[in-house]
Amino acid sequence: MPACDPKGPLMPLRLATRDPDFDTRFASLLAMKREVSEEVNDVVRAIGHDVVARGDAAVIEYTAKFDKLMLTPATLRVTPEEIAAAVAACDPRTLDALRLAADRIRAYHERQKPKDDRFTDALGVELGYRWTAIEAVGLYVPGGTAAYPSSVLMNAVPAKVAGCPRVVMVVPAPGGTLNPLVLAAAELAGVDEIYRIGGAQAIFALAHGTETIRPVAKIMGPGNAYVAAAKKQVFGTVGIDMIAGPSEVLVIADGTANPDWIAADLLAQAEHDAAAQSLLITDDAALGAAVEAAVTRQLATLPRAEIAGASWRDYGAVIEVETLDEAVPLADRIAAEHLEIIAADGDALAGRIRNAGAIFLGGHTPEAIGDYVGGSNHVLPTARSARFSSGLGVLDYMKRTSILKCGPDQLRALGPAAIALGEAEGLAAHARSVAIRMNLGG
Amino acid sequence: MPACDPKGPLMPLRLATRDPDFDTRFASLLAMKREVSEEVNDVVRAIGHDVVARGDAAVIEYTAKFDKLMLTPATLRVTPEEIAAAVAACDPRTLDALRLAADRIRAYHERQKPKDDRFTDALGVELGYRWTAIEAVGLYVPGGTAAYPSSVLMNAVPAKVAGCPRVVMVVPAPGGTLNPLVLAAAELAGVDEIYRIGGAQAIFALAHGTETIRPVAKIMGPGNAYVAAAKKQVFGTVGIDMIAGPSEVLVIADGTANPDWIAADLLAQAEHDAAAQSLLITDDAALGAAVEAAVTRQLATLPRAEIAGASWRDYGAVIEVETLDEAVPLADRIAAEHLEIIAADGDALAGRIRNAGAIFLGGHTPEAIGDYVGGSNHVLPTARSARFSSGLGVLDYMKRTSILKCGPDQLRALGPAAIALGEAEGLAAHARSVAIRMNLGG
């Protein structure tokens, strides 16, 4: 990544659909790799073998090495007293904000709870399915600056709404320090156990269990390259959520939009990460130019200007279209994690777009509202994966079991077809398991 | 895998909860690796690079090499005439069975279609989410003996119920031969395009597209080690379904059950694969012994006796419990793909078990009914993954987009909390994107 000079020109890519080379340049924009994949698999595999073999002792050694923190089996777990002290140490205004966020996230996700289905069909076959919560879920929370209390809420609240009886959080405490707001968020969300460990060793401890930490069935939450590699390695033994990439926003706007507001939203995305991506599609060239100027102006007073500036310069783009109709297929190909639509007929436009993680409608819905207090989940599909996947929700903490029940009459009605198909597929024992119940021999 | 002598003693593992070493032996049973993982990643990666670089030409070359079939871009796709000829060549009785299966699968999955949600909360914030179908889905169908028309229905029918506009099937045609029933099933399910290619090259063609095959957004369906490795490698570029392992059944039965029927069901599972697993838990030692004897008897007349016998000997188990209450936690730890319950109070017992892919209730519901004509899906979580995942369903072909809309009043109500949290997380541009709209500066 080239170093960013915040005083130099920070120009995003500029495209227009009328350009003769638009298709090629747009395809290049889509194909941009924004992630440096680190090869850490071997290191992580060795940590995994060690944690499986030696349990607590291995976890404690890696924590001493990587987090400069000496633990014992008795001090792995964060105590209720520490959690209470952390809550007491938080700024009350921030705690109130966290409480509002938790309440709104809970209310939104309650509506996602799926219904069981049980019915009897015309033949008398009883059919259906039922949803059950995953019995134990692990939640990884990064340490240091990436420890976001809002992300604790976004991951843990839906788990509890789903009804998971055991939600276990791991969070590294480098040098012994834990972010009090992270503990407060865990408390608000109803997390059941918290361990002060991180890195690949924490993932393997959650997946395989140790003397102190009982294993979980699924592991959620973001982390660095080591954590991501460990999650991939334990997948199968446990479930995992998606591996999140750098964040992105696409703003679709017409001339009615306020360029300063759009610039602020583009920078809110860009400040996450130099590999974040902020895109604007507009049918108004003057708006595009005004947004670019406002970005430059606002960058000057932004604490994280270096990161945001690099993101805007390296991955930002302003795409001019002839009409907003042209924006629809482009937005579907971009499949943005966050899609803001600020246009006269925004709601209708939103209805025509298939691929987006979340849609923010109108000038008064900055994406940051959704990050914190809208109620919907801020864990959303990145890197064009909104083409085939959804944001985090209650269903990610549940699973469905199908149910089937025949009596003798139903078996008689369906049996011959099952026998025919079993025979056609060369599976004689399948056919016989039906026939034997119909007194057709076996 | 040791060779199986169908005339030799084929004894499954025998456990009883009263044994002093039960916990250890049960844990070993759970930890059994039933899959030989082949290291094919490098070969598959090379195929992938080649298909991305050379498109159709590479796919055609690999098809000539692996399937002994010479194709051109014009003959990659199976024609409507070929499909019609295949349907005409099928045994009418089997076609009728396939039609019954398709209709029942469609009816069952129609009920899984999720509802959108859109509501306005007490503050006036508009919230909700909407479900959309994935725009294009690829379906891998293995060639040769593993080409199961029932699996085509199980994968393709829910895609069309979900509303996927484009369902693309690939199926290898070794030496030019295609299974007519597979084509008939595709036709019944409404598959839109069929290409006569297979292996890793088919997966890369679906994920990245070629001159002839437009790319899809998600790839489903089982395959050999090369196909599985290719699916893992394209994951991220496209979505994939789970990677299925060997099949398994757990039967929980009391003394009311018919041992011959249970034996037939255990063998129906075992005939799939020498690595399949058939388990029985019973509170009746006499039933356990009778089932074992019936398995031996039935094996003698089974065409796939060698496979089924090896599976039963190497991975089968009969577990004796004192009461069926003890079966509940054991079943939850096994988390079987298929769970049959044949017991006096079977429905109540089923209600107490959390982890299973599918439950088959009562003596007249052999699992094979669910494989073909029950209506529920036969693509189910294997290898204990029913602890955290579900069988295939309509939701696997859709994704959810969340929607948020604030006006000035709602932004004023929620803004201060969002600003507080943005500041607490050190994300000043997030805070500013809200403040700038509230005239709180920027």
Residues B266, B341 within the same domain: yes
A269 marked among binding-site residues = yes
Q: Do B60 and B189 fall within a single domain? A: yes
Is A233 labelled as part of a ligand binding site? no
Q: What is the mean pLDDT of residues A341-361?
A: 97
The encoded tokens of residue A11 equal 């120009």
Q: Side chain identity at B408, as an amino acid letter?
A: P
- Taking residue B287's Cβ as centre, other Cβ atoms within 10 Å add up to 22
Classify residue A121: in a domain, yes or no. Answer: no
For chain A, say whether B115 makes contact (Cβ under 8 Å). no
Considering only the beta carbons, identify the residue of B96, B134, B437 that sits closest to A366.
B437
| Euclidean distance between CA atoms B353 and A132, whole angstroms | 10
Instruction: Answer for the pair A269, A367: CB distance below 8 angstroms, yes or no.
Output: yes
The pLDDT of residue A242 is 84
Q: Scan for tokens 């409608």, then name that residue.
A: A361
* Closest among B177, B180, B173 to B195, alpha carbons compared: B173
**Residue A399 lies inside a defined structural domain of this protein:** no
Per the document, the length of chain B is: 442
| Residues contacting B330, CB < 8 A, separation 6+ | B17, B26, B281, B319, B321
Calculate how close chain A gets to B268, using CA atoms only, in Å.
5
Residue A397 lies in a domain: no
How far apart, in Å, do the first and last CA atoms of chain B sit? 69
Sort strands A126-133 and A317-320 into parallel, antiparallel or unpaired: unpaired
A138 → chain B, closest CA residue: B388
Count Cβ neighbours within 10 Å for each residue of B412-427 and write b for 16 or more, e otherwise: ebbbbbbbbbbbbbeb
Q: Quick check: B378 and B154 in contact, CB under 8 A?
A: yes
Q: Using alpha carbons, select from A289, A282, A260 the residue that is nearest to residue A331.
A: A282
Let me know whether B339 and B225 are in one domain. Answer: no
Quick check: is B423 in a domain?
no
Average pLDDT, chain B: 94
Distance (Å, whole) CA B337 – CA B322: 24
Show which of B189, B221, B240 is a domain's final residue: B240
Helices (H), A220-284: 225-234, 259-270
Radius of gyration of chain A (CA): 26
Domain co-membership, B226 together with B287: no
The token duo for B37 is 């993982």
* Rounded Cα–Cα distance for residues A100 and A392 (Å): 20
Is B338 one of the annotated active-site residues of the chain? yes
- In the DSSP assignment, the letter for residue A308 is H
- pLDDT-derived band at B329 (thresholds 50, 70, 90) equals very high
From the number of C-beta atoms within 10 Å of its C-beta (0-12, 13-18, 19+), residue A258 rates as: middle
Q: How confident is the model at residue B281 (pLDDT cuts 50, 70, 90)?
A: very high
Query: B17 and B110 share a domain?
Result: no
CATH number, domain of B275, equals: 3.40.50.1980
pLDDT-based confidence at residue A33 (cuts at 50, 70, 90): confident
d(CA A78, CA B165): 51
Q: Look-up: residue for tokens 């994704």?
A: B399
Band (B441; pLDDT cuts 50, 70, 90): very low
Assess whether pLDDT exceeds 50 at residue B283.
yes
State residue A392's pLDDT score: 97
Query: At which residue do the structure tokens 């947004």 appear?
Result: A291
CA A271 – CA A310 distance, rounded (Å): 9
Least Cα distance to A246 among A310, A294, A202, A340 occurs for A310
Structure-token match 């520490």, residue found: A82
Residue B391 is predicted with a pLDDT of: 97
Among the three residues A240, A272, A300, which one is the final residue of a domain in this structure? A240
Tell me the mean pLDDT in the region A416-422.
Answer: 97
Specify the DSSP class assigned to residue B240. E
Q: Could you tell me if residue B421 is inside a domain?
A: no
> Is A374's CB within 8 Å of B270's CB?
no
A91 shares its domain with A177:
yes
pLDDT band at residue B4 under the 50/70/90 scheme: very low
Min mean pLDDT across A164-173, B184-193, B230-239 is at B230-239
B195 and B285 within one domain: no
The reply to whether A25 touches chain B by the CB within 8 Å rule is no
Tell me if B437 and A363 make a contact (CB, 8 A cut-off).
Answer: yes
pLDDT of residue B9: 64
pLDDT at A409 over 50: yes
Give a yes or no: residue A249 inside a domain. Answer: yes
Per the rule left: phi > 0, alpha: psi between -120 and 50, beta: everything else, A410 is: alpha
A441 part of a folded domain = no
pLDDT in tens, A52-104: 999 999 999 999 999 999 999 999 999 999 999 999 999 999 999 999 999 99
- For chain A, give the number of residues: 442
pLDDT at A360 over 50: yes
Q: What percent of chain B is predicted at pLDDT more than 90?
A: 91
pLDDT digits (tens, 9 = 90+) for B226-279: 999 999 899 989 999 987 888 999 999 999 999 999 999 999 999 999 999 999
Residues B182 and B264 in one domain: no
Q: What is the pLDDT of residue A8?
A: 54
Q: d(Cα B126, Cα A362) in Å, to the nearest integer?
A: 11
Q: Do the chains contact at A150 and B425, CB–CB below 8 Å? A: yes
Annotated binding residue B116: no
The single residue listed with the structure tokens 């940051």 is A368
Condensed to tens digits (0 to 9), the pLDDT of residues A148-168 reads 999 999 999 999 999 999 999
For A283-430, strand residue ranges (E) read 317-320, 338-342, 358-361, 398-405
Span A410-439, average pLDDT: 96
pLDDT at A441: 45
pLDDT tens-digit series, residues A207-256: 999 999 999 999 999 999 999 999 989 998 999 998 788 899 999 999 99
Among the listed residues A187, A338, A340, A367, the single catalytic one is A338
Identify whether the C-beta of residue B230 lies closer than 8 Å to the C-beta of residue B44. yes
> What 8-state DSSP symbol labels residue A174?
G
Are residue B175 and residue B50 in the same domain, yes or no? yes
Q: What angle do CA B406, B409, B415 make, to 5 degrees?
A: 70
B198 and B112 part of one domain: yes
Closest CA in chain B for residue A365:
B406
First and final C-alpha spacing in chain A? 69
- Residue A43 CB burial class (10 angstroms; 0-12, 13-18, ≥19): middle
Q: How many domains does chain A have?
A: 3
In which domain, by residue range, is B162 found? 41-119+134-240
Write the single-letter amino acid at B352.
R
Same domain, A62 and A77: yes
- Indicate the residue among B361, B388, B415 that finishes a domain: B388
Domain annotation covers residue A410: yes
> pLDDT tens for residues B105-163?
999 999 999 999 999 999 999 999 999 999 999 999 998 766 799 999 999 999 999 99
**How many CA within 13 A on the CB side of residue A83?**
20
Share of chain A above pLDDT 70, in %: 97
Non-local (6+) Cβ contacts of A102 within 8 A are A153, A157, A185, A188, A189
The answer to whether residues A343 and A424 belong to one domain is no
